[in-house]
Chain A
Amino acid sequence: MLYKNPYNNYFDYVVQRDMDKCIRCKDCVTQCSYDANFYDEERDLIYSLDSNCVGCMRCSTFCPTDCIRIVRNPDTFRINANWKDNNVKDLYKQAGTGGIIITGMGNDKPYKNYWEHMVIDACQVTNPSIDPLREPMELRTFLGRKPDRLEVNKDGDITTKLAPQLVLETPIMFSAMSYGSINYNVCESVARAAKELGIYWNTGEGGLPDTLYEYGKHTIVQCASGRFGVSPEYLNAGAAIEIKIGQGAKPGIGGHLPGEKVLEGISRTRMIPVGTDAISPAPHHDIYSIEDLRQLIYALKEATRYEKPVSVKIAAVHNVAAIASGIARAGADIIAVDGFRGGTGAAPKSIRDNVGIPTEVAIASVDQRLREEGIRHQVSLVAAGGFRNSSDIVKAIALGADAVYIATSALMAVGCTLCQQCHRGRCAWGITTNDPELSKRVNPEIGAERLVNLIRAWSNEIKEMLGLMGINSIESLKGNRDRLRGVGLSEIELQTLDIKQAGM
């Protein structure tokens, strides 16, 4: 509490402890990784240093007597509609440090959330709805280039040579999170869940640890601007390869894994020395045009004997539709579009909160553009960036996505409470940390189970929603915008999303 610069001593949360209910079990003390809780042996008291609290709720959820409440610091600056609390605190922080403010997770600003302004249609009388408990309901999704036409011989067998496809048992995948940004246990949780669910997880740009090669058939291996961990074995180990151009949380900038996070396992996997910073440049230094991108796509296809689909992931930005069209023409089999609510392990706050566009509109415009150009079938479209539940996913597919990527939701299933401290490497929930003591807080057995539960629950809800729309296959929902209506949207918004106003 002492020796702090008062100009910087503004903090967000207060740990309230009901001492009548405290049994001195010291659970809160051992669980806090930010040194906010202490035990004073002499007084036999537990107390808190509120200014260290990040509001991650690790202590309050673990407290066996529920004696802890994490509350917003009631300290209030004079109310000012222009200078909101966070504007003031950020300013003070920077005046104190002179640094860029770094944060984790996705854009948390109250931009309009279009999912909440779209509603789903249902069958009544004139067209029957389907009961998914009684009738088959197909969620299986194929990602990859589809042929212009399909030829079938007289026995009914397809004779057209098909491009390689990813087969998803449900249209949800785990989005790119690198080994290093999340620890091994979380990677293993995600990989195990993907395998059990019959879907895919994505290595991000951290490479694939040797011990996770067994999950290769359910792995999308990423090739990003830093090329960390990329080798022929790596490319061939996965089911698909993804070229990462951009990320929704920080479009246009690169990545930076600080040297202190580069421990033995990460060093080996990324193929860089222990303790060195892993810097991913903002652009790929060999890609300055669609033609350059095409070269990389085909180099990767060549390296994997054209057996694996290649995906290109971009951040959702203003002219995303035109870029996507170029990517499709460059030979990509899948395009992943990451909206600005997508998470990150570390990004400048000013960028996270102000750059990029929502995935809802990006998907709508990309799908629209590809259809208009007659190349929609040449490429699959994966939406990413802030999916919170099954209805968001249903709406994304109705807007034109083939499948979605989730990462923030996945981490939440494993424990994340969105405290946005990922960049500090001290995650109390043991997710975005490589500290050996904290990392073991995620037991992959439990992590995988919880992920499987979440995706199963969402898949069942998706089936229910398909059923009420009278649809028995997810394929029939794709781009089926007539199933959506807008509520509280302007005409231009409805136009952009290409949906009708509710009531019409």
Chain B
Amino acid sequence: MKYVIIGNSYAAVFAVESLRKTDKSGEITIISKEPYHVYARAAIHEYMDGTIGDAQMYYRDKDFYEKHRVTTIFGRTVTGVEPEKNRVVLDNKQKIDFDKLMISSGGVPIVPPIEDFKGVGTFTFTTWDDAKVLKDWVKKQKMPQAVVIGGGLIGLQCAEGLKHMGVDVTVVELADYVLVKALDSITAQRVQQWLTHNGLKVITGNTVVSINRAKGRITGVKLKNGEKVKCNTVVLSIGVRPNTSLVEGSGIKVNRGIMVDNSMQTNVEGIFSGGDVAEAEDFLRKKGEVMPIIPVATMQGKIAGFNMAGEKRTYPGGLLQNAFQFFGKSVVSIGNVISIDHNDGFEEIIKDEGDVYKKAVLQDGKLVGVLSMNYIARIGIYNSIIRSRMDVTGIKDKLLSDKFGFLDLPKEFRDEMLTKPG
């Protein structure tokens, strides 16, 4: 059996690991355009500002590919998939045959129509190389001033990293507040205040329309409202979109991402997908969704791997989850914490005391989301509650207590959780 995996990140690693659990002998080939041993893509901002070194960047041990007997083809891009011929085509026209294919080609940065967004001084921020290039560039600047376009998670993480490196940073976000996809307006504003408090400049409700240059070097950017911001560095980070170009014309169905069923298989038998490129079922909304977060990518990779190797597994649906920190303050969001329509059976419970803000979102008596700022102890328990779909009406009052735990939950649920192998 020949397995080919496109991509070399979180989903790919889990696919390899579960493939090998089930199929000890099949051939596994990983094709990745990046020349690196699998690394922690989500930690590039910490690499950039020197918080961590190479050792902490590698996601798996040096012998990962050997141990799992994986052939790697690095530095090559897959340009086409030919399902009827069971092969993929590389940028060097090389063709690789497969029996089962996993497409985990990730996302590509969205590049907006900004005038003159190219050349010296402009950067994207999704890969290790991006971080390295940006790091080198910033170090060479006498007075590094950067504008980060996009106040999403990666943009802000990049901005914080730059700040730690002594860069004067301005974040420009089109929406009314930062982290618009992950947080509600209250927490978003608090995060924003905290960022400002730590010396970041944050401009919201605005965007960059053009980049000003003098003698080829960036001198600043012009915003939609006509305002100008001085800088010599522009980082573009308004998000990523599924990297689906390689399946164009292949017959593999794409909506926003590559559409997969609950076995992570695409509409073409034998071809699977997972990670940031895939569109799989959302646990709460029960419809297809691209969820570019690590736990979803790894779970999809795992399910895909098992199913590719012939061990039937069902994807339980993805649940949005995120944990992040800015300048030492942490925020965790799980499930559906925004876009609430009160007519739709939604209810919010909020605990706002001092530094700590906690919110639980209920829909028809069931927990669907939790947001917490500056308090993360045991927060993962809410995952189990959301996944269980239990009715929490009776424990609403206790739900956000610092002492909340298994003892507040029904005994049957607790026994199921605590007395059986995890």
Q: Indicate whether A and B are direct neighbours in the complex (CB within 8 Å).
A: no
